Amino acid sequence: MPIPISLRTLPADGRALATLAVPLALTQLAQVALTTTDTVVMGLMGAEALAAGGLALVVFNQLRTMGVGMVTAVGNQVAAAAARAEAAATDTARTEADEEVRGLVRAALTLATLAGLAGAALMVLAGHALAWLGQDASVADAARPVLHALAPGLVPCLWFQAIRQVTVGMRRPQALLRITLASLAVNAALDWALVHGTWILPELGLPGIGVATSLVYLLSCLALHASTRRDPRLAPLVDLRLRKTHRGTLRRLTGLGTPIAATYGSEAGFFSVVALVAGTFGSAALAAHTAVNQLVYTVFQIAVGLSHAASVNVSRELALGRADAARRLKNTALACGAAVTTVVGAVYVLAPDLVLRPFLAPDETQARAIATDLLLIAAVLQLFDCAQNIGVGLLRGLDDTKGGFRVTLVGYWAVGLPAAWLLGRLAGLHTAGVWLGLLTGLATTALLLLRRYHRRLTARTAAAGDAAVHAT
């Protein structure tokens, strides 16, 4: 009996996916370590500094995440254009395709600039509004200068993300991990130096962490740009002449990026509201939720790498007219995600004390007991969390960003949040019920996204077949 094509091609498909997914996932994990370093330094300064600095980072991360969403689709557009350039039969066609990529780069950097400036303005305004939002006055006063120091870093942060998407779309992301790892060491040194006034640097206290973060984003952006200038394939494509940005290209990227930004913002808001629901069951429940959520969030970075890699590869395969390869990519990405989350889930189940040790002290018996139960749910939940993130990426590969956003609204807010409330409050399952509701929402989102991808890809393939028949 012949081996199914998905099994025969799985090793090759897996290697192609891993070429992008591994460096992207490691880069995501390193970025999580970046904010963790800031949090550790804040904690060493005391509880009030941690509260104020953490509040500033929540605002910054929300706006940064949505800004990243605005430029995420650039990678898909560049991948499709690059694939057409490789497949072009003439030098003229290849030159035109390369010019298309340069136009996308200019539009992406312009969009990143506009989103960064808007986000920075909102951060300054948020700094003055914290006290009106029910925050403790002393915490709000301490958080305000941190937000002011973080605001200038948003534009270089989004420039870095825009150039990153270009390198991913061109399938040349190798420098990303090296730069991100180097930024960890630089960030830790600048945090300490600017907080305490070490070497020739001034003593800024808590705002020094914001200044350090902004400087690290600027240095990372410059380093990534320098790396592209040394790459013979990328150097001619990374065009910084923003005045030559084509308005039509900018409108197209904005139309694709806005739903992605809304999706990222919706997801972050959904998890924030779920945390508030968990907090209604007491401090031990909230501590347990926070600890397990951080574990899931860390593993989620692997899903992000898989999602971006699958998304860019789908754009590439469709540009080359290979719908079967785009269909296989879904199965390959899901298989890789399932393998990773299964192994991690087994560790959750078999060694809960080991994975909870960095987050909860041994004497916090109630929180540890709750967290141990949540780990059993998380072992299953993270499989669907990974699948729904891959689903969003796959639809992005079809340029279906609006459809992905609508599906996540249904899964997160119409299913997940009511289920978390009903199971937690009305069914009396408390924090475990909240997490079962979270699992329900993520599972619903994953199934709807993957079904939509299958249908849209089938419809697109059929339309391409009909066009070929009419052409002949």
Per-residue tokens: 74? 């650039």
For the cut 50, the answer to whether the pLDDT of residue 308 exceeds it is yes
Backbone φ and ψ for 10, nearest 5 degrees, come out as -60, -45
CA-to-CA separations, 249 to 88, 107, 237, 450, in angstroms, rounded: 22, 6, 16, 29
Phi, psi angle pair for 178, to nearest 5°: -60, -45
Residue 420 confidence (pLDDT) above 80:
yes
Name the average pLDDT for the chain: 88
On the question of pLDDT at 3 being above 50, the answer is: no
Residue 465 confidence (pLDDT) = 61
- Portion of the chain with pLDDT greater than 70, in percent: 94
Confidence of residue 51 (pLDDT cuts 50, 70, 90): confident
Q: How confident is the model at residue 1 (pLDDT cuts 50, 70, 90)?
A: very low
Given a cut of 60, whether residue 467 has pLDDT beyond it is: no
Higher pLDDT, 137 or 410: 410
Mean pLDDT of 394-412: 94
CA atoms within 13 A on the CB side of 57: 20
* CA torsion through residues 5, 8, 13, 18, sign: positive
d(CA 464, CA 398): 14
Task: Pick the more confident residue, 422 or 26.
Answer: 422
Query: Which of the four pLDDT bands, split at 50, 70 and 90, describes residue 307?
Result: very high
Give the model's confidence band at 7: pLDDT under 50 very low, under 70 low, under 90 confident, else very high: low
Look at the alpha carbons of 353, 357, 361, 366 in this order and tell me if their dihedral is positive or negative.
negative
Average pLDDT over residues 164-170: 91
Residue 175 pLDDT greater than 90, yes or no: no
Query: Residue 52 to residues 2, 30, 111, 216: CA-CA distances in angstroms?
Result: 62, 24, 31, 21
More confident residue, 93 or 313: 313
Residue 415 has pLDDT above 90, yes or no: yes
Average pLDDT for 345-349: 95
Q: Region 173-183: what's the mean pLDDT?
A: 86
pLDDT of residue 271: 85
Whole-Å CA distances, 371 to 6, 98, 159, 288, 374: 38, 52, 39, 5, 5
The whole-number pLDDT of residue 432 equals 94
Indicate whether 460 pLDDT > 90.
no
Q: Are 25 and 172 in contact (CB under 8 A)?
A: no
- Please write the tens of the pLDDT for every residue from 88-137: 767 787 788 889 999 999 999 999 999 999 999 999 998 888 767 666 77
CA Rg value for the chain: 23
| pLDDT score of 80 more than 70 | yes
Give mean pLDDT, residues 337-362. Answer: 90
